[in-house]
Amino acid sequence: MPANLPPQYFEVEKKYRAAKSVSEKLRCLEEMLAIMPKHKGTDKLRADLRRRMAQLRDLGTTRKGPGRRAPVYLIEKEGSGQIALIGPPNTGKSSLLAALTKASPQIADYPYTTRLPLAGMMLFENVQVQLVDTPPLGDYLEPWFPDLLRRADAWALVLAPPGDPLEQLDTITRILSTYRLAPVSPQNQNTPENLTPYRTLVILNRADLLPDPEELDLYLELLRERLPTLAVSAEQRTGLPELKAALFDLLGKVRVYTRPPGKAADFKSPFVIPRNTTVAELADLIHHDLGRKFKFARVWGKNTFDGQRVQRDYLLQEGDVVEIHT
Ligand SMILES: Nc1nc2c(ncn2[C@@H]2O[C@H](COP(=O)(O)OP(=O)(O)OP(=O)(O)O)[C@@H](O)[C@H]2O)c(=O)[nH]1
Ligand SMILES: [Mg+2]
């Protein structure tokens, strides 16, 4: 099927080729994706643009070596994924970073306390997830801020009383849309027209200020019609274990463990891989040679019986133990 691309597409593509920075290239790709008509003929092209965007986002945001010190607002990815803590002023983004990681951000009872992003590593069981605290999202954003949003793997949107969390969600969604970005549920396959979707978890913080369980439930119900939502209190440290699990889950990744034939698996160091990775892709990730020589694998997991023999297209599940045979 022909793609039938409109002429503006080729103009933006030219800009894309000429672009000198990662963020400029990302912006162009977003524009190309927005312009491209959605039909069977463009399926491949759209997938290709998305892949290029993912690759650009993964590029190290800093360059190593003397004289190339990166500005503080460029945060290099570490761990199994990067989640940006975003939201209106004073909702407890920094308090959450402090509660979930070893970082010590500035926390204060007045708005606009945070001026620059700050990263911390959250340990969830045996994996590290990078959280990035950010300044409040308002109508004016410093130029680096949208870039930071675009490079994150997912967003955690922190809302909190005494303001109305639903109004806060509307305001933030509107601000993001001016940058052609949209928070979406990871389960939701329909991406909003002309917007780049980012998997988002809503954190309803300061749940301790909603002592009436009916009021809290009502907010949760209404928020959950839009995005997956968890209620927590950073101050009282309630809901944090569930939050950690949900944040890891938000990345859309699973943990698998390898064991050399006849030996025990090492449960301390999982391979963290995207959902729907095949066992042959895992072998290839470990080593190209292993991928090439792959014959079959044995899997111990939820969806297999112990030591079940699987072929190269077997889709790995969370918690699988894998023994690769060549
Ligand atoms: N009652 C209550 N207060 C909280 C909770 N979490 C944070 N706070 C308070 O809320 C205020 C703002 O917290 P911060 O963590 O600085 O909020 P922020 O979203 O980072 O604020 P900005 O950086 O200005 O956008 C502080 O006074 C915190 O002590 C909570 O769970 N319950
Ligand atoms: Mg802050």
Domain ranges of the chain: 8-58, 82-250, 253-325
Architecture of domain 82-250: 3-Layer(aba) Sandwich (3.40)
Per-residue pLDDT, 71: 60
> Who wins on pLDDT, 43 or 202?
202
Highest-confidence segment of 45-49, 185-189, 284-288, 309-313: 309-313
Structure tokens at 24: 């400029």
200 backbone dihedrals φ, ψ, rounded to 5°: -135, 140
Q: How many residues comprise the chain?
A: 326
Whether residue 3 is predicted with pLDDT greater than 80 in this model: the reply is no
Give residues whose Cβ lies within 5 Å of ion ligand 2: 93-94, 113-114
Q: Is 134 in the pocket of ligand 1 (CB under 6 A)?
A: no
Give the pLDDT confidence score for residue 310 in this predicted structure: 96
Q: Whose CA is nearest to atom 2 of ligand 1?
A: 206
pLDDT given for residue 217 in this prediction: 96
Q: 292: burial class by Cβ within 10 Å (0-12, 13-18, 19+)?
A: exposed
Contact 16, 25 (CB under 8 A): yes
Quick one: how far is CA 291 from the chain centroid? 27
pLDDT value at residue 314: 97
| pLDDT of the residue at 262 | 81
Contact assessment for residue 321 and residue 299, using Cβ atoms and an 8 Å cutoff = yes
Tell me the two tokens of residue 96.
């959450």
What average pLDDT does range 189-200 have in this prediction? 85
The pLDDT of residue 76: 87
CB of 233 shorter than 6 A to ligand 1: yes
CA of 94 to the centre of ligand 1 (A): 7
What integer is the mean pLDDT of 141-162?
94
Atom of ligand 1 nearest to the CA of 90: 21
Mean pLDDT of the 199-217 span: 96
pLDDT of residue 1: 61
Percentage of the chain beyond pLDDT 70 is 95
The encoded tokens of residue 196 equal 């780049």
Three-state secondary structure along the chain? Answer: CCCCCCHHHHHHHHHHHHCCCHHHHHHHHHHHHHHCCCCHHHHHHHHHHHHHHHHHHHCCCCCCCCCCCCCCCCCCCCCCCEEEEECCCCCCHHHHHHHHCCCCCCCCCCCCCCCCCEEEEEEECCEEEEEEECCCCCCCCCCHHHHHHHHCCEEEEEECCCCCHHHHHHHHHHHHHCCCEEEECCCCCCCCCCCEEEEEEEEECCHHHCCCHHHHHHHHHHHHCCCCEEECECCCCECHHHHHHHHHHHCCEEEEEECCCCCCCCCCCCEEEECCCEHHHHHHHHCHHHHHHCCEEEEECCCCCCCEEECCCCECCCCCEEEEEC
Alpha-carbon dihedral angle through residues 35, 37, 43, 45, given to the nearest 10 degrees: -40
Owner of token pair 């892949």: 51
Ligand number with the minimum distance to the CA of 107: 1
pLDDT band at 276 (very low <50, low <70, confident <90, very high): very high
Selected residue with higher pLDDT from 168 and 30: 168
Q: What is the mean pLDDT of residues 302-326?
A: 94
Reply yes or no on whether the pLDDT at 30 is more than 90. no
* Cβ of 95 less than 6 Å from ligand 1: yes
pLDDT at 273 over 90: yes
Strand partners, 155: 84, 200
Angle among Cα 166, 216, 110 to the nearest 5 degrees reads: 60
For residues 303 and 312, give the distance between their C-alpha atoms in angstroms, rounded to a whole number: 16
The predicted-structure confidence for 46-76, as pLDDT tens digits, reads as follows 889 988 888 887 765 545 555 555 566 778 8
**What mean pLDDT, rounded, does the chain reach?**
91
Distance of alpha carbon 254 from the chain centroid: 13
| CATH level 3 topology of 253-325 | Ubiquitin-like (UB roll) (3.10.20)
Per-residue pLDDT, 66: 52
| Contact present, 223 and 202 (Cβ < 8 Å) | yes
What digits encode the pLDDT tens for the residues 98-135? 999 999 999 999 898 999 999 999 999 999 999 999 99
Q: What is the pTM of this model?
A: 0.82
Which ligand places an atom closest to the C-alpha of 112?
Answer: 1
Segment 270-285 mean pLDDT: 95
Instruction: State residue 70's pLDDT score.
Output: 54
Evaluate: CB of 113 within 6 angstroms of ligand 1.
yes
The number of the ligand 1 atom at minimal distance from the alpha carbon of 112 is: 24
Mean pLDDT on 75-85: 94
Cα within 13 Å of Cα(7), Cβ side? 0
